[in-house]
Structures are given as structure tokens and as C-alpha cells.
Structure 1
């Protein structure tokens, strides 16, 4: 028997009634440190609406989102076709998660994914990117009989225990050791170091992001192809972590396609969700799959309770259909080239703008020490205070003055990262180029360093007083 409509939860009404209390609620019941961060850098504007590539704050101000939820919103927020697909599931009384049955929608999504990656033959679904990485570790060990997994410095493969063991950033690992044994770190884009690790013949797999998310590090042209060849020479699997780079982010369906490499496994997540229902996937070769699920009594040797739920599968199916119908991958390639070109044109103009790199709509903007004597003291003062702090001279004014949401590409890095929805347009590109030019120009003044310190101190005092 259904509830009285007057008694049902209306999420929009609930949100509106409690929006002003969001920071207090999080301080009391969730992550207080995240609230302090937002208030310290002045990002506590209170977003109340998301549509496409834009966000709107409580005052109705419009922002261009260059984070896209760390890559989740490839199609932007609240795409109507994704929403309708999810509504159709909720309205259909489907036999969801029977468990002693197989999912029809999972079969359809698996087929569509494999049509886009024809070198793969089987799909395993998970709930997230980290869970896909955990599955890949188990698959690799089961398929090869070898325990060692090689990963790269600065890699990010997730924060669950196994995935964290393959994380190349010490700030995430510290305090959680000992991690999973048998994991070896090598420098990214270093074939000699990789071959040295593989030569032990104990390596089950090498896992790599084709373009690293932390720092937006792009490999040299021959690296990934040669790495895959080395893996096959030494009996190791080549795993492409496309959790952030896949599904069109770099201007191709998979980033690995830029270098003509066919992996043994491909990991997907983030944008496959359509921005609504988490979903992860491991695409693999049949022989690897068959090593894990090799007998009827091992049919459930690995799985995840919610992994093939109908909402997640419908979100993935709708996402792939929208991407194809709206030529989203092609748009990512065009707009990415435009943004990269526009920002690279600024390099001769601003001495602290060191390098602009990326593929498609995964863009890293690196800054470096100035040559001008008037700017050196400020730069070194900021570096001494907190390595990577200079980038706040870029991201904070972009947000506060130009309503562009972006992020620093990693802890202690002088790199600003742009990861916009793949539906950005020409007007958005102009918005980015004009705003960035102005902000970088303002950063090239001796007073800018003092101004940032004053701004951060003021926000920090405000945050402390409001918490008192």
C-alpha cells in the first residue's frame, strides 16, 4: 500500500528548507575539515542548481564548471535524457537485483561497451572506479598466478585499501600503512624502470592511467605502446585505468586510442554514470575472465551486491546513447584543441606560465618561478609557506571574480587542472581564455602575493569566527 502523497519525501523541498544549514550540518555530522577548506578559500557560495556545464549559487549567479564532479558530469548536470531513462526504471516495477537471475539491462550495457572497445570480450560491473580497480587486482592475480602489481609515481587509482596500494601520492597513503603487499612503484613514462620491474617475472600486471589525473601528465608518444609490448614479453597484463580519461574525455572514446594500444583490461567509471547513479566497469579479454570464473562453483567468486542494479545500468545505457547521438566525443576533441591553443598563446605573454598540456578536455596549466627580480621574493615566500600555493592565485580569482570553478591538479603541484563537461561550447571557450588571461596577468604583480595571503587569512578568520 502506497504512502499518502502528503507524507512522501520531496527532496527539492527538503533541500530548500535546509540549504542555509548545509555547512553547519556537515560540521556537526560529516567532514568538518572540508567545510573549513571551503570557507578559508571563499568557495562557500552555496550552489543550489546545476544545468549542463553551469552551476548557480543561492543568489542566482552563474558559474562555469571546470571540475565536472572530478569527471563525473561528462554530459553536464541533469541531462534530460538520462533523467527520463532513470524515471522509466522507477516507473516500471522491474525485477531488480534478483541475484538468482541475470540482469537484462546489464547485458545490454555490456554489449554497448564492447561495441565501443572491440578488443575486449567480457565486462564485469562494479559500483565505482575504486571498486573496478579492486576487481582488476583480483583478476590479474587469478589470471597470471602472480601477485606483484606495478604502478606509476603520481598515479591515482582510488582510495580503498587495494586501490590505495597503487596510489603514487604519499599524502593519500600516509597513516594507512601497511598497504597491500606486492605492489611496486615506477616513474611514469620511464620504460627502463618498468622493464627492470617486469624482468623479475613476478609481475601479474602493470596498471597505468594513459594521461595521469594528478598533474595531467601526458606520456611521450612511444611510451604506452612500448609498455604494453614489455608486459607481453614478460607475461604481465597491461591494465588501462580509463576511469577519468575514458568515454570521450580526451577526444577519443578511450585515451589509449591516441597511441594505438590494445590493453588486456580497461577500467571505466565516473562519466558512465550519467552524473546520477555510480557505476564502474572492468572490460577484459575472455581468457582472463575465464580464469576467474572457471567452474560453476566459482560463478560467484567475485561480485558486488548493487553492481548491476537497474538504475546504474540504465544510466550507463542512456549515457552511451547520448554521447553517440550528440557527438560528444567529437565536441571534446574540438573544444579541447580550442582551449589548449588559446591558453598556449598566452605563454609568451606571461613569464610564470610554464607549460600547457593535455588531451581533449583534460587540461593541465603549469606555472614556474619568475625571472623578474620584482616577482621572485613573492614566489619563494609562497613556496616556503606551502608548496603549490601559487596556483591559488589563479583558482581563487577565477572563481570569485570570473565565476569559473577549477582546481589545483594535485598536492604540492604548480598545476591548475581543467576537467569541464564534454558539452562546453565556443562561448565557454572564450569565457575561459579571457578570464584566465586576466587572472594570470593580475598574478604577475608583486602585490598579488600579499593580496592572496590577506585574502586567505581573512577567510580563515571568518571561518573560525562562524564556527565559534
Structure 2
């Protein structure tokens, strides 16, 4: 039998990424990436950058949707994984209590509000949300869950049920019963629904990921107080915002909140091994694990595996010792200042929203007649095309990776790693400035690209109409 050599396998088949995915994985995603020019083949990555086989750098202001807070391929994480493998430790015995999961639980409790003293480990943000909802239902004995309009909490069934986005929910039939939407920022609506007395929990992102929205400063403190008054648990979903993303270790610190349950994932992995958790009060935890015969009433096979736990410990160490949370706060201030300067010079920018290294640039209908007609023409065909006209040249002309914030939103979003400095900020801002200047040239390359997107969208719609039932 020939020896398995992963290095040789990767080297020999390095250019087959998109063909393999087209054949065996998600062919629709491949089509989208090829259409918008994102079908790059990356050979390596470090810190804030991705590199192709020719050595060209790509500034990563997407960070794997917020995974790479400490940057890509941090040397301490790589060393930590190698060290754990070299120890030949027992792993996932299941009928034991492993050291590394205990140590990471201790560390998470140390860096969260002191009332959160019990931890459950899992594998992804969606799974952390599922667990948080399940614990809320089990601990309260109630059967309703409230979530905010515009929320995104994940795509598994329970998480999808509290994700208020029709595009993600379409086609999957009836979701979980007892889930109700609350109008964003409306305390009266929240109280009206809580007053019925059967709400187990109100779940919210402190900063909504799909558009980088955050409410007035008094909203979350009052929402938390209303939950307390009516006996509902308050869940903060910090899957994307947690571990420094917004310039605080936890975004809840911006409002001095004390949620009953807190979810964490993405950045906890260090970008290597999936890791997630939710933290809660011990009394809530014990209402679920209420008897000896219910000690594993909620469990997951891979949640406490050694590699994930080691990555979590190393990631928190890097965040603290390299002062990356503080750097995120500093970077956010500079980015916001520079974006506001761009807003003053570009009529297409409607709003700028920044919390640390969580950035949204929202676009709106321009004032000048020629630009207004082009804007209306693009939106008449597809409401979500314009931000793609920004994201694509940012990538193909400037090699800066950003993304469209959500379906039918005129918002470009950036999630840079927390390790960025002045060089990366300048490249991002200058690239965006250049792309926006191209937008004023009618006709021009931006609008040519927009026309191509429109034609692709029209063909796709016609294909759907012609497809057999």
C-alpha cells in the first residue's frame, strides 16, 4: 500500500479547487464565485493577508466571517496544536472529565461577567445558539422565544427559527413553534410580548451581523430589565461580536449588560479547530442537568475535544497578551474617521456604522440625475446588485476582500482581523475611495460590470421559469 502524503496530494492537485466543488460540493456557490471574480486559489495565509501561488497578497477584511480575530496562522496556535499532538493525550473518552476543557471553561468564566459560571462546549455558533435556546426552554418551563427583526443566529433548525431573514428561511417548511419576532429597538413591542408570561427567553445580537446595526444606548439595558421583570431569560449571541471584535472583549460591555446566557464561537477556534460554547448561570445549568440520570441530557461528541480546547486557550492568551482587543478599538476609531471623510466626498455613501473591527458602509440613492438613473436601473432588476459592484472591484482591482452584508441590503461589510495596523487601514480606505470614484464615471467599468450582473440575474430568473416543476 502506498504511503499517504498530504503535502504531495495538495501540491499535485492545488489548482482543482473549484472543479472539485463544482462536481461534488456546492456547484451553485462555484457559479457565484466565478461570476463575481472571487474564484481565486490561495496558496498560503498569514496575519491579515492571503497569498496566491504567484505570491500576490490579498488583504483579508472578511476574516472567515469573523473567525480570524488573531489573524491567520498565528504561530502560537500552530505550536499549541503540535504540542498537544506530541503529548499523545487521551481524547474524547466521554466517560471522564478532561483537563483541557476544564481549563478553558475556567478561562472563559474568568473573562466574562462574574455571574456566568457554568460552561457548555460545542462545535459551532449555530450549535451554541441551539443549546442556549434549549437550556432556556428547559430551565424556565416556558415555550416561547423572542428574537429581533433583522436577526441572524445560524442556519440549523432552531437557530434558523430565530433568524428573521426570509431568504434563509424560504423553502424549509414550518420552523420551530413559539418563536416570535420583536420590532428592532421598540421596547413597547418587547414588553407587550413579554407581558403574556410564557416567554422563555429573548435572544439578541448586541450588534447585528447582517448590517452592523446597534440600537440606542438605552435599549439593551431596558430590554434586560424587562426580561427580569417578566421572568424571561436574556440571551446575548456573541458568536460574531465576542472575543474583541467590537473593541471590547464582549460587545455586551458597551452597555454593561449581564445576560443569563452568552454564546461564543468563531474566533474561539483561533482559525484552526472549530470551537464554541455557551455560558450561563449555575442555577440555570443545574435545572437542565437536574438529576443523576440526566447528567448527559444535553451533550455533543466533539465539543470538548483536546485540539479545540487548546486552540481556545491559546487564542485567549494571544488576545490578552498582544492587546488585540485594545487594537480593535483603536482601529475602529481610525476606520470610522476615514469612512466619514469618504462619506463627505461620495454621495453614494448613506451611512457608516463601526464598532471596533466590525464595519458597515451603507449606500443610498445619489442626488445627481445621471447617477440616480443608473442606480434606479440596477435596483429595478435586483435590489442586491449594487454592493456587489463595490465588493468585486475591491477584490479584483485592489485585492481587498470584503463582502455584501446581506440579501437586498445596499451595505458592504468588513470584518478585518484585530491585528491590522495603519498600512492595512490605508489600503482599505484608499481602495474603497478609488472604487467609488469609478462609480462616478458613466459609462465606465463599474457600470459595465453592473450590466453583466444584471444580465446574469435575468438569465437565472428565466432559467427558473423554464425549469420543470
TM-score, normalised by the number of residues in structure 2: 0.95
Structure 1 residue 76, shift from structure 2 partner: 1.1
Distance 1:460 1:153, change over 3 A: closer
Structure 1 residue 187, shift from structure 2 partner: 1.9
* Counterpart residue number, 2:447: 450
- Residue 353 of structure 1 pairs with residue 342 of structure 2: no
Alignment of 1:60-99 (within 5 A): 60-99=55-94
Alignment of 1:285-304 (within 5 A): 285-304=281-300
SS at match of 2:213: coil
CA displacement, residues 420-452 of structure 1 (integer Å, 9 cap, x when unaligned): 111011111111111111111211233246312
> Contact 2:385/2:453 (CA < 8 Å) preserved in 1?
no
- Residue 169 of structure 1 pairs with residue 165 of structure 2: yes
Structure 1 residue 459, shift from structure 2 partner: 8.8
Alignment of 1:32-431 (within 5 A): 32-117=27-112, 118-431=114-427
Q: Select 1:23's aligned residue among 18, 34, 38.
A: 18
> Contact 1:195/1:230 (CA < 8 Å) preserved in 2?
yes
Structure 1: unaligned runs, 5 residues or longer: 462-468
Q: How far apart, in 1, do the equivalents of 2:8 and 2:276 lie?
A: 31
CA displacement, residues 303-350 of structure 1 (integer Å, 9 cap, x when unaligned): 101100000000000000111110010010001111111011111111
Q: How far apart, in 2, do the equivalents of 1:460 and 1:227 lie?
A: 41
SS at match of 2:241: coil
SS at match of 1:42: coil
Q: How far apart, in 1, do the equivalents of 2:433 and 2:187 lie?
A: 37
Structure 1 residue 129, shift from structure 2 partner: 0.5
Q: Select 1:434's aligned residue among 430, 437, 446.
A: 430
Q: How far apart, in 2, do the equivalents of 1:358 and 1:195 lie?
A: 29
CA displacement, residues 367-386 of structure 1 (integer Å, 9 cap, x when unaligned): 00011111111000100111
> Contact 1:158/1:167 (CA < 8 Å) preserved in 2?
yes
Structure 1 residue 101, shift from structure 2 partner: 0.6
> Contact 2:340/2:352 (CA < 8 Å) preserved in 1?
yes
> Contact 1:72/1:270 (CA < 8 Å) preserved in 2?
yes
Q: How far apart, in 2, do the equivalents of 1:453 and 1:427 lie?
A: 30
SS at match of 2:243: coil
Structure 2: unaligned runs, 5 residues or longer: 459-469
- Residue 13 of structure 1 pairs with residue 30 of structure 2: no
Q: How far apart, in 1, do the equivalents of 2:172 and 2:344 lie?
A: 44
SS at match of 2:201: strand
Distance 1:457 1:167, change over 3 A: closer
Structure 1 residue 460, shift from structure 2 partner: 9.5
> Contact 1:40/1:457 (CA < 8 Å) preserved in 2?
no
Quote the RMSD (CA, aligned, Å).
1.7
Q: How far apart, in 2, do the equivalents of 1:351 and 1:457 lie?
A: 23
Structure 1 residue 454, shift from structure 2 partner: 4.6
Structure 1 residue 44, shift from structure 2 partner: 1.4
Q: How many residues align?
A: 457
Q: How far apart, in 2, do the equivalents of 1:294 and 1:94 lie?
A: 31
Structure 1 residue 24, shift from structure 2 partner: 1.1
Structure 1 residue 455, shift from structure 2 partner: 4.8
Q: How far apart, in 1, do the equivalents of 2:376 and 2:440 lie?
A: 14
> Contact 1:240/1:266 (CA < 8 Å) preserved in 2?
yes
Q: How far apart, in 1, do the equivalents of 2:139 and 2:167 lie?
A: 32
CA displacement, residues 156-192 of structure 1 (integer Å, 9 cap, x when unaligned): 1111111111111100001112111110011222211
Structure 1 residue 406, shift from structure 2 partner: 0.3
> Contact 2:262/2:280 (CA < 8 Å) preserved in 1?
yes
